[in-house]
Amino acid sequence: MKPAAAGRAFLCSFCLALCSLCCAQVLWRSGDHEWKKLIMVHHWPTTVCMEVGNNCRSPPDYWTIHGLWADKAEECNRSWHFDLNEIKDLLQDMKVYWPDFLHSPSNRSSFWKHEWEKHGTCVAQLEALNSQQKYFGKGLDLYRGLALNSALLKLGIRPSGNYYQISDIKDALASLYGVVPKVQCLLPQQDEEVQALGQIELCFTKDLQLRNCTDPGEPPREPAGGRGRARPAGALWGLEVCEDGPVFYPPPPEGGR
């Protein structure tokens, strides 16, 4: 092959490779990693313990953080690994408000690792969340600002042997926060007759302003953890959007924190 022909062949190959790379970047932007809203996910530890059975360890007697999630994207940057040293100044609050009560203390950071690598790497496209320090710090800030524990008490909704109506809980939260939340339950297990209150999601825009969790005509999101897959740290399989009707808000067991 003559030098000029070889040069043209190389240039064509280079252009094709560059084109493929650009297309891949466009697909990344417009595909599975696109998202519209942030979801601040609270879960009720007593119900988590009902779902996982004997693996639970001294659940707190207050709502705790499950995670801060994008509504669609997951595992957006698999090379951005969790580093506990980056949040060492947050650890005291993390242990209280974002605890992992499913694992032994020696393995407790596995929950935070899962949340960062699955969800944090996606919401990190926002400047306010573009580091592990910012992601977990902002999650704690949003949790404190929403004050779900005191909000429910103010609304007269507290753990009890009596049942509530799902519509009453949703309406009460909507009246307080001014937006429609998403409420998830653990469906009846074995001899139980009533679903148990398990998770409350409050949603934000990318500007961190409260917004409705569901748009008209939007299909329900897949239950946390997904079905038919290995359970990651902190994932719950049995939680689904609550059915209309009665719900049990289970009191914490004696000895809960």
| 257 within domain boundaries | no
Into how many domains does the chain fold? 2
* For range 32-41, the mean pLDDT: 88
Question: Catalytic residue at 43?
Answer: no
| 51 within domain boundaries | yes
Alpha-helical segments (H) within 147-248: 148-154, 166-177
Question: Is the same domain home to 74 and 136?
Answer: yes
Question: Catalytic residue at 119?
Answer: yes
Question: Is the same domain home to 1 and 50?
Answer: no
Question: Is the same domain home to 24 and 43?
Answer: no
* For range 17-35, the mean pLDDT: 45
Q: How confident is the model at residue 125 (pLDDT cuts 50, 70, 90)?
A: very high
| 156 within domain boundaries | yes
Question: Is the same domain home to 21 and 122?
Answer: no
Query: Which one has a higher pLDDT value, 227 or 131?
Result: 131
| 200 within domain boundaries | yes
State the DSSP H helix or E strand holding residue 246, giving kind and residue range, or none if neither. strand 246-248
- What integer pLDDT is reported at residue 253 of this predicted model? 81
* 204 pLDDT higher than 80: yes
Q: Which range scores top for mean pLDDT: 11-15, 135-139, 231-235?
A: 135-139
Question: Is the same domain home to 16 and 54?
Answer: no
Question: Is the same domain home to 48 and 100?
Answer: yes
| 1 within domain boundaries | yes
Beta bridge partners of 248: 163, 196
* For range 37-49, the mean pLDDT: 95
| DSSP strands (E only) in 71-193 | 163-165, 182-186
CATH at residue 142: 3.90.730.10
Question: Is the same domain home to 181 and 82?
Answer: yes
* 105 pLDDT higher than 80: no
* For range 179-188, the mean pLDDT: 94
Of 66, 114, 117, 201, the catalytic one is: 66
- Cβ atoms of 47 and 251 within 8 Å: the answer is no
Whole-model pTM? 0.80
Of 51, 114, 115, 240, the catalytic one is: 115
Question: Is the same domain home to 144 and 238?
Answer: yes
Question: Is the same domain home to 149 and 178?
Answer: yes
- What integer pLDDT is reported at residue 256 of this predicted model? 53
| 253 within domain boundaries | no
Question: Is the same domain home to 25 and 44?
Answer: no
Question: Is the same domain home to 43 and 103?
Answer: yes
Question: Is the same domain home to 210 and 176?
Answer: yes
Tell me 156's DSSP state. Answer: T
Residues 143-168: pLDDT tens digits? 999 999 999 999 999 999 999 999 99
* For range 29-45, the mean pLDDT: 82
| 254 within domain boundaries | no
* For range 67-93, the mean pLDDT: 96
Strands 239-241 and 64-70: unpaired
Alpha-carbon distances of 237 from 144, 225, 229, 232, rounded to whole Å: 27, 6, 9, 10
What domain range is 22 assigned to?
A: 1-30
**Closest by Cα among 184, 177, 231, 224 to 204:** 177
Per-position DSSP letters for 19-72, written without gaps between them: HHHHHHHHHHHHTTT----EEEEEE-HHHHHHHHGGG--S--SS-EEEEEEESS
* 34 pLDDT higher than 60: yes
Question: Catalytic residue at 33?
Answer: no
Query: Which one has a higher pLDDT value, 253 or 129?
Result: 129
Average pLDDT in the chain: 82
Q: How confident is the model at residue 103 (pLDDT cuts 50, 70, 90)?
A: confident
Of 33, 43, 114, 119, the catalytic one is: 119
Q: Is 26 left (phi over 0), alpha (psi -120 to 50) or beta?
A: alpha
- What integer pLDDT is reported at residue 215 of this predicted model? 78
Count of C-beta atoms within a 10 Å radius of residue 46: 21
| 256 within domain boundaries | no
- What integer pLDDT is reported at residue 225 of this predicted model? 41
